[in-house]
């Protein structure tokens, strides 16, 4: 299983993008809308064919099901809220309440692991999983901005359990697990000589 992208959640897309661009010093590109869940996003290509996403509820969209990424319950300032991985085979990693949901945005097609109630697996401590059904996924399609992900830290009360569950499965040594009373994600990026933690 490889890291595919990281997601910053925000109350509004404009707020999330402004927050991320100010810190990273780069410009996000237009993404699109996710009709099924009433959300929209903007994207930033990172080194190594992964990317960073800012996602928020689309105020112009209707949604009849709980929104993914737990966005119905999101409040407060923008923050890193989810990490998304692509396993070589999706179904065995559909755990912690995730169910396969077919998705489409423009020419992009993929299957996503989403709990029916829209929450994040283990509150975001366990990665959301997906399987791309497209020749060129966004991580390879987006132009690289030179921003490099150096480390992703997952803090969770059950960090050791999550790490054990992913041992031998997750093939990315940038991911660290730390036991903490609160669930949170933080990522360290490098852009030129600048180091930024989100």
Instruction: Compute the mean pLDDT over every residue in the chain, rounded to the nearest whole number.
Output: 97
State the Cα–Cα distance between residues 31 and 55, nearest whole angstrom: 9
Going by CATH, does the domain composed of 2-147 fall within 3.10.180? yes
Average pLDDT, stretch 92-106?
Answer: 96
Read off the tokens for 49: 């064919």
- Residues in the chain, total: 198
pLDDT at 107 over 90: no
Domain map (residue ranges) of the chain: 2-147
Read off the tokens for 147: 């921003």
Residues 150, 196 contacting (CB under 8 angstroms): no
pTM, full prediction = 0.96
**b (16+ CB within 10 A) / e for 53-74:** bbbbbbeeeebeebbbbbbbeb
Output the pLDDT for position 192: 87
pLDDT at 184 over 90: yes
Phi then psi for residue 160, to 5 deg, are -65, -40
3-state secondary structure of 165: helix
CA 142 to chain centroid: 16
Closest CA to 11 of 67, 70, 75: 75
Share of the chain above pLDDT 70, in %: 100
Beta bridge partners of 82: 7
Q: Is residue 14 very low, low, confident or very high in pLDDT (cuts 50, 70, 90)?
A: very high
Average pLDDT, stretch 8-30?
Answer: 97
Average pLDDT, stretch 96-111?
Answer: 95
- Name 126's Cβ contacts closer than 8 Å, sequence gap at least 6: 95, 96, 162, 165, 166
pLDDT digits (tens, 9 = 90+) for 123-152: 999 999 999 999 899 999 999 899 999 999
Residues 80, 152 contacting (CB under 8 angstroms): no
pLDDT digits (tens, 9 = 90+) for 40-88: 999 999 999 999 999 999 999 999 999 999 999 999 999 999 999 999 9
pLDDT at 36 over 90: yes
């Amino acid at each position: 299983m490889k890291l595919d992208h990281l997601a910053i959640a925000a109350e509004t897309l404009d707020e999330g993008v402004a927050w991320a661009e100010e810190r990273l010093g780069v410009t996000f590109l237009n993404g699109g809308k996710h009709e099924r869940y009433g959300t929209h996003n903007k994207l930033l290509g990172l080194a190594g064919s992964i990317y960073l996403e800012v996602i928020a509820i689309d105020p112009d969209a209707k949604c009849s099901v709980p929104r993914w990424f737990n966005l119905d319950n999101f409040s407060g300032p923008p923050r890193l809220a989810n990490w998304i991985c692509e396993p070589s085979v999706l179904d065995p990693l559909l755990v912690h309440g995730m169910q396969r949901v077919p998705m489409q945005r423009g020419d992009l097609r993929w299957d996503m692991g989403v709990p029916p109630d829209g929450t994040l697996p283990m509150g975001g401590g366990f990665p959301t999983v997906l399987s791309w059904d497209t020749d060129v996924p966004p991580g390879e399609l987006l132009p690289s901005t030179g921003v490099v992900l150096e480390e992703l830290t997952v803090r969770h009360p059950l960090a050791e359990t999550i790490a054990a569950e992913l041992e031998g499965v997750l093939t990315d040594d940038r991911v660290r697990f730390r036991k903490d009373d609160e669930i949170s994600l933080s990522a360290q990026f490098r852009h030129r000589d600048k180091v930024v933690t989100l």
